[in-house]
Amino acid sequence: MRRRSLLTGLAGAGVLAGLGVSPALATPVLPIRSCADWGARPPAQPTSVVHERPVRILIHHTASANTTDYSQAAAYANAKWIQDLHMDRNGWIDSGQHFTNSRGGFLMEGRHGSLAALRAGDRVVVGAHCPGQNTAAIGIENEGLYMDVEPPKLQWDSLVSFCVYTCEQYGISPFAIEGHRDYRDTLCPGDKLYALLPRLRQEVAQVLS
């Protein structure tokens, strides 16, 4: 099935609903909120950009509470919490991950400059989400703890859509969507979310086929 038909079908099923996907154009234009939108602090020093394409997407979880507040306000508060943690406790210049996905399905820029780089499709901001993968991989944090439960549907649907757009922009294979634990001794992104990665690859590949 061609990509245009799949996008139309997924939109009708709610997978891409509300995420700015235009089946008529068959081009995802996601409402990824910028750092300015959610009120990020300025980075401690300018972020660095590498003029090469990343080759994979790394899936993370925040290991924070599985809140039932799916609002935009809660999403923005979580993004601020992550940035404060990364800057004030870890001593990083900014949020470590390139993007953040809330439990309510709100997609947000994490590290400053990541959204502009994604839209350009030919460069990547140097992240701090996984040693050895900070330019090779786009890191996306999914709000919540997914050791024993799966992400809510809103969050899952936005993750699929984000991966579709990111794979398309950077020419990343859907089968290069991996988990943090594949490259680091960590429980991240949680047993349940990690077990869903084959399904994530398959759903993204179906849209892009």
Residues 37-81 pLDDT 10s? 999 999 999 999 999 999 999 999 999 999 999 999 999 999 999
Helix boundaries (H) for the chain = 3-13, 35-38, 72-84, 114-120, 153-170, 191-195, 197-208
Report the pLDDT value the prediction gives residue 13, as an integer from 0 to 100.
Answer: 36
Torsion of CA 113, 81, 32, 135, to 10 degrees: 40
pLDDT for residue 1 is more than 50: no
Q: ∠ CA(120), CA(175), CA(169), 5° rounding? A: 10
Q: Distance between CA atoms of 45 and 93, rounded to whole angstroms?
A: 6
Report the pLDDT value the prediction gives residue 29, as an integer from 0 to 100.
Answer: 53
Average pLDDT, the chain: 89
pLDDT digits (tens, 9 = 90+) for 105-118: 999 999 999 999 99
pLDDT for residue 24 is more than 50: no
Tokens at residue 77, please?
A: 């508060």
Q: ∠ CA(145), CA(132), CA(85), 5° rounding? A: 40
Region 177-201: mean pLDDT is 98
Under a CB-based contact definition with an 8 Å cutoff, are residues 107 and 162 in contact? yes
Under a CB-based contact definition with an 8 Å cutoff, are residues 166 and 121 in contact? no
Q: Distance between CA atoms of 82 and 100, rounded to whole angstroms?
A: 9
Report the pLDDT value the prediction gives residue 169, as an integer from 0 to 100.
Answer: 96
Give the lowest-confidence range in 24-28, 156-160, 169-173. 24-28
pLDDT for residue 10 is more than 90: no
Tokens at residue 151, please?
A: 């992400």
Q: Distance between CA atoms of 179 and 184, rounded to whole angstroms?
A: 9
Q: Distance between CA atoms of 123 and 108, rounded to whole angstroms?
A: 18
Give the lowest-confidence range in 14-23, 94-103, 134-143, 180-189. 14-23
pLDDT for residue 30 is more than 80: no
Q: Distance between CA atoms of 158 and 135, rounded to whole angstroms?
A: 23
- Closest among 191, 204, 208 to 144, alpha carbons compared: 191
Q: Distance between CA atoms of 50 and 141, rounded to whole angstroms?
A: 21
Report the pLDDT value the prediction gives residue 25, as an integer from 0 to 100.
Answer: 30
- Closest among 52, 33, 57 to 165, alpha carbons compared: 57
Position with higher pLDDT, 93 vs 7:
93
